[in-house]
Amino acid sequence: MQSLTVNHPRANISAKTLLQVEDLRKGFTLHQQGGVRLSVLEDLSLSVNAGECLALTGSSGSGKSTLMRCLYANYRADSGSIWVKYQGDWVDLCQLLPHELLAVRQNTIGYVSQFLRVIPRVPALEVAAEPLLELGVKTEVAIARVKELFHRLNLPERLWELSPTTFSGGEKQRVNLVRALCVNYPILLLDEPTSALDKTNRQVVIELLEEYKAAGCALVGIFHDEEVRDQLCNRELSFGKNN
């Protein structure tokens, strides 16, 4: 695929950097409250290098989840840039067309949200393998990779052919994790990836994410579990009331 770069970063970016945010602003208009404008992110800048995990910390409502959604382009920023290293080139998510964003997500950015949305009657194996299959990976190879990760995360085999709609919160979270971890994304966004897990599986997730860091993956996450954050994260970006 041709480069999607539409312009160039304002300043030189380190060769180690995979994600760089420059002067990001995002707010919301409260139409049901007289059109009041609520500013959430103001002139936010950050960078994340390969092999690094950045934790977003701060109180509820301070802007952490808004930033995560901007980094995945679920929210469009009001201004600023979100530079992502995509197939050797820099692309600004804020300037891409919808179909270009889909290409970047498919190949470059994995997102583990707190919730798993699935179609009823589709088995967990297929749900988890979907990102690999969309990349053209052979079915047997994709399923083998998913099974390997299901084993590591202690998801019982009796559940693999069942729809995750019937699963517990912890079981759904493990399927959601495998959807992202089965692809070698250069960038992983993690929104409370262990919130529904017991101590044993929480530690397995930490070990898996450490392996991804060691392989050069850049991680950005919200981790309310201090133990997970302390073991996994290299740096913190703290959000205050004015972020």
Treating both helix axes as pointing N-terminal to C-terminal, what angle do 199-214 and 169-181 enclose, rounded to 10 degrees? 10
Are 62 and 146 members of one domain? no
Summarize pLDDT for 118-127 with one digit per residue, the tens.
778 999 999 9
In the predicted structure, residue 5 carries a pLDDT above the cut 90: no
* pLDDT at res. 1: 41
Phi first, then psi: give them for residue 18, nearest 5 degrees.
-115, -20
In the predicted structure, residue 6 carries a pLDDT above the cut 90: no
Supply the pTM of this predicted model. 0.92
Distances (CA, A) of 151 to 86, 144, 204: 31, 11, 11
What percentage of the chain exceeds 70 in pLDDT? 94
Residue 204 is assigned to a structural domain of this protein: no
In the predicted structure, residue 2 carries a pLDDT above the cut 50: no
Name the pLDDT band for 34 (thresholds 50, 70, 90).
confident
The span from the CA of 126 to the CA of 122, in Å, is 7
Residue 138 is assigned to a structural domain of this protein: yes
The span from the CA of 134 to the CA of 132, in Å, is 5
Are 6 and 70 members of one domain? yes
**Domain span at 20:** 1-108+186-197+211-243
* pLDDT at res. 4: 54
Are 236 and 177 members of one domain? no
The span from the CA of 165 to the CA of 120, in Å, is 6
The span from the CA of 139 to the CA of 58, in Å, is 42
Summarize pLDDT for 159-202 with one digit per residue, the tens.
999 999 989 999 999 999 999 999 999 999 999 999 999 999 99
Are 178 and 190 members of one domain? no
Looking at the 3D structure of the chain, how many domains does it have?
2
Residue 127 is assigned to a structural domain of this protein: yes
